[in-house]
Chain A
């Protein structure tokens, strides 16, 4: 069990099998960590918004700093038009961040290390952004694929490239997060395995490496959540402010 570094990504049923019309929606360890992440986020931000003090306490400061961090991120990338989507991007960032961070705890399951989860999020963002783009600009949104200042001869090629790059957004977005999470956790597991197999004599090197890797992974956990959120903002910006 300990030797297989992919074992940590196994999804298994917790409790009874729940089926609706032959579709299995059983509660699994992945579901458990999604629920835990959501609850932790709600608890943290609820605590942070309970007391309305002029000089904030720790929790209030945390909540307010996160709020202004995301708010600034949106206004920097998508401008003032991005304000209505603040709640969604805030939830998205926090959900991904907390799933990543909780995944760093020993014996925890990393929800975002599953391609299906990240892909559903990315696909939702992709579809949402596309719908917003068409609502805001009508068919004019298709101008997104026709960059200005390109010679007519090159235009067919450029349009095709633009369409491909647009369509690959959900894949790149989801695979980036999933691959980072999976690779990091696998690496940690592999080095953890080395510590055991090399024992007291040689285990110190992989152990120290493992410690360093933990720090790196915490950084990656934050960074990937940030990248996920900021790319969402950038896609949203394309849909809101069409100026290609």
Chain B
């Protein structure tokens, strides 16, 4: 192969430069075939070993690294999505909890208010009842007093008039006649009052 290449390049170089020997000393050192074989040999050696080492040892490591990173990133994205869903669920849970507790609190509040209102109503009713009772009692008493008061007044009036008459005249007068007069007077007064 090499010999053919060399021949081919000779022809090529002849096309560019008519004098190959001249090129050797003055022109292009590239066309000097002195070290061609050496260059080919060392090229094959270095490039071959470079290729073997790169393909066997170095490149697999790099591709492994890249694959690892890819898979890890995918994993991370997956876990992130999972966690996102989880957190969304948690937020929903939290919101329902808050809503429930709000409702509960409202219920408690309403119940408490109802209770208090009931309590207040009951107490008020009781108090009103008591007050009514007392008022009734007081009215009864007043009525009784009213009923009894004219008799007493009459009595007192009779007694006082007896005493007065006794002191003024010095004579005892019949009890019954004076009380009759007093009763008559009081009845007249009463009538006057009622007339008014």
Q: Out of B35, B58, B62, B66, name the residue touching A30 (CB < 8 Å).
A: B35
Q: Which residue from B9, B47, B61 sits with its C-beta under 8 Å from A119?
A: B9
B residues in contact with A56, CB < 8 Å: 65
Residues of B47-89 at the interface with A, using a CB-CB cut-off of 8 Å, are 47, 49-51, 53-55, 57-59, 61-66, 68-69, 72
Contacts of B66 in A (CB 8 A): 64, 67-68
Question: Is B43's CB under 8 angstroms from A120's CB?
Answer: yes
List, in ascending order, chain A residues with CB within 8 A of B12's CB: 171
* CB under 8 Å from chain B, chain A span 65-112: 67-68, 86-88, 90-92, 94-95, 111
Q: Which of A45-53, A132-140, A155-163, A203-211 contacts B (4 or more CB under 8 A)?
A: A45-53
Known: A10-B29, A116-B40, A117-B43. A49 touches B51 (CB 8 A): no
Q: Which of B31, B54, B68 is packed against the most chain A CB atoms within 10 Å?
A: B54
- Does A25 make an interface contact (CB < 8 A)? yes
Contact B62 A48 (CB under 8 A): yes
When A and B form their complex, what is the total count of cross-chain residue pairs whose Cβ atoms lie within 8 Å?
A: 136
B65→A31 contact, CB < 8 A? no
Q: What separation, in Å, do the CA atoms of A40 and B53 have in the docked complex?
A: 13
Give min CB distance, A8 to chain B, whole Å: 9
Within 8 Å CB of B1, what residues of A? 123
| Nearest CB on B from A199, distance (A) | 27
Contact residue range for chain A? 35 or more
- Contact indicator A35/B46 (Cβ below 8 Å): yes
Inside 8 A of B69's CB, which chain A residues have their CB? 54
Given contacts A35-B46, A115-B9, whether A42 and B58 have CB atoms under 8 Å apart is yes
Are the C-beta atoms of B30 and A31 separated by less than 8 Å? no
Main secondary structure of the interface of B (DSSP, over half): helix
Residues of A within 8 A of B49 (CB): 38
Counting CB contacts under 8 A, is B168 at the interface?
A: no
Tell me, rounded to whole Å, the shortest Cβ–Cβ distance linking B13 to chain A. 8
| Docked-complex contact B31 and A115, CB < 8 angstroms | yes
A35 to B29 Cα, complex, angstroms: 21
Residues on B with beta carbons closer than 8 Å to the beta carbon of A188: none
> Is B39 on the interface with A (CB-CB < 8 A)?
yes
Q: Contact partner of A38 among B9, B38, B46, CB < 8 A?
A: B46
Which listed residue (A38, A60, A120) contacts B50, Cβ 8 A?
Answer: A38
Min C-beta distance of B177 to chain A, whole Å:
134
Min CB distance B40 to A, Å, is 5
Interface residue A37 (Cβ < 8 Å from any Cβ of B):
yes
Q: Mark B9-45, 1 if CB is under 8 A from A, else 0.
A: 1001000000000000001111110111111111110
14 A-B pairs within 8 Å (CB atoms) are namely A6-B29, A7-B29, A9-B28, A11-B32, A23-B37, A26-B35, A38-B46, A45-B59, A49-B62, A52-B68, A67-B63, A116-B30, A120-B39, A121-B43
Residues of chain B touching chain A, judged by Cβ–Cβ distance below 8 Å, are 1, 5, 9, 12, 27-32, 34-44, 46-47, 49-51, 53-55, 57-59, 61-66, 68-69, 72
In addition to A42-B54, A45-B62, A87-B51, 16 A-B residue pairs with Cβ atoms within 8 Å of each other are A11-B38, A25-B42, A42-B58, A49-B61, A52-B65, A52-B68, A54-B69, A67-B63, A87-B54, A90-B54, A91-B51, A92-B47, A111-B43, A114-B30, A115-B31, A116-B30
